[in-house]
Amino acid sequence: MSLAAAALVLGGALLAVLGALGLARMPTFFERVHPPTMGTTLGAWLVIAGSILHFGLVEGRPVFHEAAIGLFLLVTTPVTYLLLGRAALARDEATGSAPPPADP
């Protein structure tokens, strides 16, 4: 069980690092906002799953904190992503910059 929990935590950390690298590598704001939102969120979920596995099954203690963190991530990440995108679009409209390219 501990080995599975360690694998989940390691996989989550790897996804979080990949999301951070995507943030640093992408050229525009609209491309930059996607990798950390998706990669880091999935990475955090894997870390939470590893924590629940370890502390819930191996140590036998309640996992209320991990469940609360997962619930907060589930609610706040999409809202933050939406607000950042809308703020960037409003900024581009106010400054007269070109909007992002539309999907074909």
Mean pLDDT confidence for 71-84:
86
51/5 Cα distance (integer angstroms): 7
Residue written as token pair 């409209």: 93
Please, which residues have CB within 8 angstroms of residue 55's CB and are 6 or more apart in sequence?
61, 63, 66
Q: At 76, is the pLDDT very low, low, confident or very high (cuts 50, 70, 90)?
A: confident
Residue 63: strand, helix, or coil = coil
Query: Which pLDDT belongs to residue 39?
Result: 80
Query: Which pLDDT belongs to residue 49?
Result: 92
